[in-house]
Amino acid sequence: MQAFTKLTGIAAPLPKANVDTDQIIPARFLKSISRLGFGKNLFANFRFKEDGSENPDFVLNQEPYRKAEVLIAFENFGCGSSREHAPWALLDFGIRCVIAPDFADIFNNNCFKNGVLPVRLPREICEKLMEDAKMGGNARISVDLERQVVVRPNGEEIPFQTDPLRRHLMLNGLDDIGQTMQHAPAIDGFEDRQRAAQPWLYT
């Protein structure tokens, strides 16, 4: 998993509440267990018309938001099913941070496990950040996980809180497998001892 320390990038405003995982990545696209390739169908029902052409009114089809790395939304982002494909799709598109007043629990957990940082900020702050984002590509937003602040284009710093363990894992790029591999010497030692004591298990 790619570590998350500090990100400065274009932020896309999505002024919607209750954006569920089927809106993030519709079920008809869940045909792969690879984490790659889902970005092209991120928010497909919003981004594309029935004939497959782009919807010019949707923010991610507009410049400069095609290259957004931060998404700003409203309450209960990521509700609905527990599909891990939702953060996969965000990450594959290029979005590494979602800022909203709150998140559905399973989506929130899946984000941390896949290198997407969910940042909780009050609704009124999200509204201000959306107004900043509407200024375009020159109004970049910084998200600093080390210092736990979001920095507006005008320099104002907005603090946020992250669970200390999850912050540590994100800063060091450790997913579940990465955490396990930190104990590789102990695991190898156990296997060596077991192989010596019970060799028939390894034949």
pLDDT digits (tens, 9 = 90+) for 162-173: 999 999 999 998
Find the helix or strand (DSSP H, E) in which 187 lies: helix 184-197
Helix (H/G/I), strand (E/B), else coil: 84? coil
Residue 189's pLDDT is 67
Mean pLDDT of 16-43: 92
* Cβ-based neighbours of 137, under 8 Å, separated by 6 or more: 10, 63, 64
Is 90 exceeded by the pLDDT of residue 34? no
- What is residue 139's DSSP assignment? S
Residue 181's pLDDT is 65
Q: How far is CA 80 from CA 30, 58, 132, in A?
A: 15, 22, 29
- At residue 198's C-alpha, the angle toward residues 196 and 200, to 5°, is 115
Helix (H/G/I), strand (E/B), else coil: 144? strand
Q: How confident is the model at residue 180 (pLDDT cuts 50, 70, 90)?
A: low
Is 90 exceeded by the pLDDT of residue 196? no
What dihedral angle (degrees, nearest 10) is formed by the CA atoms of 82, 160, 11, 36?
-30
Higher pLDDT, 2 or 15: 15
pTM of the model: 0.88
Least confident of 24-28, 79-83, 176-180, 188-192: 176-180
* The pair of three-digit structure tokens given for residue 188, joined into one six-digit string: 């190898």
Rounded Cα distance, 44 and 24, in Å: 8
Rounded Cα distance, 156 and 34, in Å: 39
On average, the pLDDT of the chain sits at 91
Mean pLDDT of 154-168: 96
Please, are residues 160 and 121 in contact by the beta-carbon 8 Å criterion?
yes
Q: How confident is the model at residue 126 (pLDDT cuts 50, 70, 90)?
A: very high
Mean pLDDT of 121-146: 93
Domain topology for 6-172: Aconitase; domain 4 (3.20.19)
Higher pLDDT, 155 or 139: 155
Count the Cβ atoms, other than its own, within 10 Å of residue 191.
12
Please, are residues 93 and 118 in contact by the beta-carbon 8 Å criterion?
no
Residue 192's pLDDT is 67
Of the candidates 68, 63, 192, the one whose C-alpha atom is nearest the C-alpha of residue 129 is: 68
